[in-house]
Amino acid sequence: MSKTKTQFVCSNCGYISPTYLGRCPNCGEWNTFTEETVTKDSGTNAKSTRVSLTGGRVEPQLINEVDAQDAPRYQIQSAELNRVLGGGIVPGSLVLIGGDPGIGKSTLLLQVSGQLATLGKRVLYVTGEESADQVKMRADRLQIAANDRLYVFPETDMTAVRDAIANLKPDVVIVDSVQTMQESDVDSAIGSVSQVRGVTTDLMNIAKTNNITVFIVGHVTKGGAIAGPKTLEHMVDTVLYFEGDKHHSYRLLRAVKNRFGSTNELGIFEMADGGLQEVQNPSEIFLEERLKNATGSAIVVAMEGTRPILVELQALITPSVFGNAQRTATGVDRNRISLIMAVLEKRAGLMLQNQDAYVKAAGGVKLNEPAIDLAMAVSIASSYENISTNPRECYVGELGLTGEVRRVDRMEQRIREAAKLGFDRIVVPQHSLEGLDVPDGIEVIGVTTLEEALKLAIPK
């Protein structure tokens, strides 16, 4: 016997309510509840178990007997994707890729499919949004070579997808997208919370039990989060976000969760006619349009994972017209701007309380590490004093509330990146100079206080 009941599920966050609500009490969104029918088995409490494609079941195993060396990572041609994934594709992993519509998710995965097929891996590309002809047209545009190991399967029924995986026994499965897939035994609409959760659970069992790598594409909400229940991100091994403005050519790929590597890595691509191209030297891109003798500009050497990147921080300080001064930020934390301006006012004598501040990280990159504090303070002071900084100078350091410049990590890598791009001088924390191997052609100056740094950067 089975019991049937009705429940209402928020399509934005997955909150479940026994009655319809106009506003979700969990996420605060309006008109997001959809009705779903839930069937519970009142007989035996049969629980789902992981079953391989050959019919074998997972059994308990001593950890000393587990051999983790049989399946090394796949090193594909895309070095940027390899870096973000932590060194390559892990067999048996479940990877979720999210991003705005038209940002390049399907393009990236189709290119990855071609690269994996070239390496001899059997790839099944499941598409629920396009026909096989449309995928072939895009593959021809991306100049993906014909290969007898790349299969295209336009299907939305998970039963048919499971049968195809059992017949082909692929090494990699790509599902585009998870919101278009449907579990036949789940009584709800395609794209609902229950469907997304059921499809992802099925794909996770297939990946873990059969050592098949699965990539799934997830739609995003208007707030930028991946649509569906939050448990979706907890179930997968890696969550990648594709960022960027679709009106510009550069795309940023970030890992916000990674069980097999760092979450601080950043991959940078450029959308061209032939698909996504890797950007080998992103620092030159972020600095190529910098104006000479511009006020309110300072260069910082930021670390994105293991990669140093030079980024221009721009600030515009103007007298406030209204009673309360505004603090506007793009690419940096707004609260950090308020903190640094308070330190500048208290420790450097700059009257900023009646000034509006607009601070931006040029190039569309987002910076959140403490090492950008000094460059941000220099750019704000430069705009306030209307004095330009040295265009061949960059700044690295964290600011304390007492005005001290605190040490940051990976200083040697930052200095080498600045020297490689032709900078003559870099201002760093004094305590970070111990044991450094400074390359030729660049002067490294250590400072202990914000006041010392401003005297060097903005001579009056």
Quickly count: other Cβ atoms within 10 Å of residue 18's Cβ. 9
Chain segment 220-244, per-residue pLDDT in tens: 876 667 766 667 888 899 999 988 7
Q: Counting runs of H as helices and runs of E as strands, what totals does the chain give?
A: 11, 21
Q: Which tokens is 338 given?
A: 């308020």
Mean pLDDT over each residue of the chain, to the nearest integer: 87
Taking residues 67-82, what's their average pLDDT? 80
103 is known to lie in a ligand binding site: yes
In angstroms, the Cα distances linking 255 to 82, 230, 259, 283, 436 are 11, 16, 10, 20, 31
Peptide bond into 106 cis (omega under 30): no
Higher pLDDT, 243 or 301: 301
What percent of the chain has pLDDT above 70? Answer: 91
The reply, when asked if residue 102 is annotated as ligand binding, is yes
SS3 readout for 297-358: EEEEEEEECCEEEEEEEEEEEEECCCCCCCEEEECCCHHHHHHHHHHHHHHCCCCCCCEEEE
Q: Name the pairing type of β-strands 405-406 and 123-127.
A: unpaired
pLDDT for the residue numbered 50:
57
> 99 a known binding residue?
yes
pLDDT > 90? residue 195: no
Residue 104 annotated as lining a ligand binding site: yes
**Mean local confidence (pLDDT), 305-332:** 90
Token pair listed for 391: 């265009």
Q: Does 42 have pLDDT greater than 80?
A: no
Cβ count within 10 A of residue 459 = 9
Whether the pLDDT of residue 100 is over 90: the answer is no
- As given in the structure block, the two tokens for residue 252 are 């940023």
CA–CA distance, 84 with 73 (Å, rounded to integer): 13
Helices (H), 154-281: 158-168, 193-210, 231-235
Alpha carbon 89 to its chain centroid, in Å, reads 16
Q: Is the pTM of this model over 0.85?
A: no
pLDDT in tens, 363-418: 778 898 999 999 999 999 999 999 999 999 999 999 999 999 999 999 999 999 99
Q: Is the pLDDT of residue 335 over 80?
A: yes
The answer to whether residues 380 and 315 touch, using CB atoms and an 8 Å cutoff, is yes
Residue 93 among known ligand-binding residues: no
Query: CA of 372: how far to CAs of 231, 311, 339, 362, 383, in Å?
Result: 34, 10, 13, 13, 17
Residue 380 annotated in ligand binding:
no
Query: What Å distances lie between residue 12 and 121, 196, 197, 234, CA to CA?
Result: 36, 12, 13, 16
Asked if pLDDT for residue 1 goes beyond 80, the answer is no
CA distance 224 to 83: 23
Residue 106 annotated as binding? yes
Q: Averaged over 449-460, what is the pLDDT?
A: 92
Query: Is residue 213 within 8 Å of residue 172, measured between CB atoms?
Result: yes
Which ranges in 16-104 belong to alpha helices (H)?
79-84
Determine the average pLDDT of the residues in 443-456. Answer: 95
Q: What is the mean pLDDT of residues 124-135?
A: 94
Is residue 49 pLDDT above 60, yes or no?
no
